Structure 1
Amino acid sequence: MLDRLQKILSRYGIASRREAEQMILAGRVQVNGIKIIELGTRADPSSDRIAVDGKILAIAAPKFIYLLLHKPLGIVCTCDDPQGRKTVIDILPPQYQHLYPVGRLDYHSSGALILTNDGEFANQMMHPRHHVPKTYSVWVRGIPSDRILNLWRTGVMLDGKITKPAIINVIENLLKVEQDCTHLQITISEGRNRQIRRIAEQLGHPVSKLHRLAIADIHLDQLRSGQYRLLTNQEVIMLKKQ
């Protein structure tokens, strides 16, 4: 399968993604005997001859890695950012910088995020027909009425399509001097773009804070912001069954 050359070098443990980019720019990498200096160049490790400093790489099948990260606020959920902002890849050590996020959490959200180098697993997790539940701790402005919450629970129109039912529990209502707010725990089984924030805005109770607590039955537990751990084999099997 064609992939960017720097990602291939990183995936197979030749160098970190950043280091691989520098190697390419320095003209140290060849594909089928041709020196490569463009970062966007793609290759297929199963059929192309990839060499570094003239030495052909003996490429074996990569070992799949599945990582749970507690994504901090103010971190972009991509491998690269054109605006130069820090990404989830940047906060991982070099041995995990070839992974890529499964789905996204937006810049102003925090919490549970899975990263992997298993493309088939990632595609299954993100495919619309696989409804993997995700649980969030959400603070919204104001105090939603029972009518509003029941509407949200049963489904609202978003992008011309009704959302799937959501589980919503009120954790706490706070009466503040400046503005009232409500703490909700929300579980959804679909992942439309910024779904919770857009629905909350549409219902008149914008989100002020959003934190993902769990993906299926995989919880952050004691992981602090920026920390990560490898998923167990049992957790990976459970997610695949989802």
Structure 2
Amino acid sequence: MKKREEETQVELVRLNKFLSHNSNYSRREADKLIEEGKVKINGKVVTNLATKVSNNDEVEIGRKKIKEDKNKISTVIVYNKPKGEIVSKKDPQGRRTIYDSLDHKYKHFLSVGRLDYASEGLLLLSDSVTIVDALMHSDLERVYKIKVNGVITKPVEEAMQHGLEIEDATSGAYKTSKIKSMSFAPFLAYDILTNSEKFSKIKVVISEGKNRELRRFFAHFGLDVLDLKRLEYGGISLNNLPTGKTRYLTKEEYKNLRIFMNEDDRSI
């Protein structure tokens, strides 16, 4: 893992994320509470969903104080997410979420980014908002194994090598996505495992992976992503972790995380 370049004395997080992390409310439920004027910060009612707070602020829902235990030891787990689960605490459509599968003791953990419903593989979760935000907004390497329904052509390889600008990148996106144009940075690395007219398999390394980036990228070339599995995130690998199971970070992985976070051993 690379060390963070920027440091701040006070970590600020969005209010809904703070509430979700430190209570049983989902982010959607937290948003509703904020809009209804049921949340106070330092004694004042807030209704702005963009509000951010730090651990120094006093946050209340009604008369109940919501605060982070500063003395707890932060935990990071690896979950091998199966296909057919939503990375969310609740789904309006009633689909299964990762929290239906995870042990109850992880119900307050937050995920480092997301894997969509049809994707599988490595998902990091933590009980530390600071760690989640740092990892999610980093340029750490993400490794994916992908299967597409066609040939990896020379134009596809050139785009992986040099990057790509697409004005209409709606193919491969969610129907409800408001993001149309996208800029794709050059892939950090790729390895074509099989290449044929029927389907091809490729291993890619990128530094982001948000907004269905890979699905949009290959869709631009008329290729549908049939399977997508994340194998690594920031040097943390699935290894032999079975689908649907979790594990804690190893001592070496925690050591690398501390270096990345630029904190001492008592911080996580």
Secondary structure of 1:169 counterpart: strand
Secondary structure of 1:153 counterpart: helix
Counterpart residue number, 1:68: 78
Question: Which of 71, 89, 93 is 2:103 aligned to?
Answer: 93
Question: Which of 189, 196, 212 is 2:230 aligned to?
Answer: 212
Question: Which of 253, 260, 266 is 1:235 aligned to?
Answer: 253
Which amino acid is 1:8 matched to?
N
Q: Distance in 2 between matches of 1:57 and 1:212?
A: 34
Q: Do the aligned partners of residues 181 and 121 (structure 1) sit closer, same or farther apart at CA in structure 2, a change above 3 Å counting?
A: same
Q: Distance in 2 between matches of 1:144 and 1:59?
A: 48
Shift of 1:236: 3.3
1:19-61 CA-to-partner distances (Å, cap 9, x unmatched) read xx9xxxxxxxxx9xxxxxxxxxxx9897468999x9x999843
Q: Do the aligned partners of residues 118 and 173 (structure 1) sit closer, same or farther apart at CA in structure 2, a change above 3 Å counting?
A: same
Counterpart residue number, 1:222: 240
1:186 aligned onto 2:204: yes
1:173 aligned onto 2:183: no
1:163 aligned onto 2:163: no
Counterpart residue number, 2:48: none
1:176-235 CA-to-partner distances (Å, cap 9, x unmatched) read xxxx11010011012331011000000222211111111122111111110110113431
Q: What's the TM-score, normalizing by structure 2?
A: 0.66
Q: Do the aligned partners of residues 51 and 138 (structure 1) sit closer, same or farther apart at CA in structure 2, a change above 3 Å counting?
A: same
Q: Do the aligned partners of residues 235 and 108 (structure 1) sit closer, same or farther apart at CA in structure 2, a change above 3 Å counting?
A: same
Q: Distance in 2 between matches of 1:162 and 1:57?
A: 40
Q: Distance in 1 between matches of 2:161 and 2:245?
A: 32
Q: How many residues end up aligned between the 2 structures?
A: 206
Q: Do the aligned partners of residues 121 and 109 (structure 1) sit closer, same or farther apart at CA in structure 2, a change above 3 Å counting?
A: same
Counterpart residue number, 2:220: 202
Counterpart residue number, 1:140: 148
Which amino acid is 1:149 matched to?
E
1:46-99 CA-to-partner distances (Å, cap 9, x unmatched) read 7468999x9x99984333110100000000011221222111112111111110
1:141-182 CA-to-partner distances (Å, cap 9, x unmatched) read 11122332122222111434342334121101345xxxx110
Q: Do the aligned partners of residues 111 and 160 (structure 1) sit closer, same or farther apart at CA in structure 2, a change above 3 Å counting?
A: closer
Q: Distance in 1 between matches of 2:67 and 2:206?
A: 44
Q: Do the aligned partners of residues 147 and 228 (structure 1) sit closer, same or farther apart at CA in structure 2, a change above 3 Å counting?
A: same
Which amino acid is 1:121 matched to?
I
Counterpart residue number, 1:118: 128
Shift of 1:126: 1.7
Q: Distance in 1 between matches of 2:60 and 2:218?
A: 52
Q: Distance in 2 between matches of 1:162 and 1:45?
A: 38
Question: Which of 134, 151, 164 is 2:159 aligned to?
Answer: 151
Secondary structure of 2:99 counterpart: coil
Secondary structure of 2:98 counterpart: coil
Contact 1:154 1:166 in 2 (8 A): no
Contact 1:89 1:99 in 2 (8 A): no
Secondary structure of 2:113 counterpart: coil
Contact 1:155 1:166 in 2 (8 A): no
Contact 2:81 2:98 in 1 (8 A): yes
Q: Distance in 2 between matches of 1:112 and 1:77?
A: 12
Shift of 1:241: 2.0
